[in-house]
Amino acid sequence: MNSVRVRSLNRDAVLATLRELFAQLGQERPEVLEVRLYGSLARGTRNPHADADVLVVLDSSDVPFRDRLPRYKPLGSPVPMDLLACTRAELERELAVGNRFVRRMLDGSVVLYPCAAADTGGAANSPAATAQAPVLCENNREPPPR
């Protein structure tokens, strides 16, 4: 007889842990402007095997794109994690050429760690603020036009 194993995912607990991990990363690495969660976990799609699809937005980097993962992927994630680390300029370039994947990724994302310019003393971590926080913020700079 085959047995069925049921796995449950507490999305709120996972998000809280991810926010803590990336807040620590942001304190350790000042080039981190913001961190966003995208994909099924961000959308709240029911999936007990969901992973965390994460975008780390950097002010700048002297490390090639393909070599950034170990520097910005924190240990201790409660779920498997796929991480992209892009500079603000790289992300803006992709948006400017109409990269639909990047646009969808940003449109459906949840802020896990806001940049200092978007931090309003705790209010930035409220559900309403995380969905509306500016992307690629620099001194409250607006996101690129759609």
Q: Is 140 helix (H, G, I), strand (E, B) or coil?
A: coil
128 backbone dihedrals φ, ψ, rounded to 5°:
-65, -40
> Consecutive 10-residue runs of the chain (146 residues): their mean pLDDT?
67 94 95 95 84 96 94 94 96 96 93 67 37 40 34
The answer for residues whose C-beta is within 8 angstroms of residue 29's C-beta and 6 or more apart is 71, 72
pLDDT at 23: 96
The DSSP secondary-structure symbol of 138 reads S
CA angle in degrees (0–180, nearest 5) for 88-145-37: 50
Cβ-contact 113, 32 below 8 angstroms: yes
Cβ-contact 25, 81 below 8 angstroms: no
pLDDT at 50: 82
pLDDT at 115: 65
pLDDT at 8: 72
Residue 13 host element (H or E): helix 11-28
The pTM for the full model equals 0.76
Cβ-contact 81, 54 below 8 angstroms: yes
Longest Cα–Cα distance in the chain: 61
pLDDT at 122: 38
pLDDT at 33: 95
Q: Which amino acid appears at position 18 of this protein? A: L
Q: Which amino acid appears at position 106 of this protein? A: L
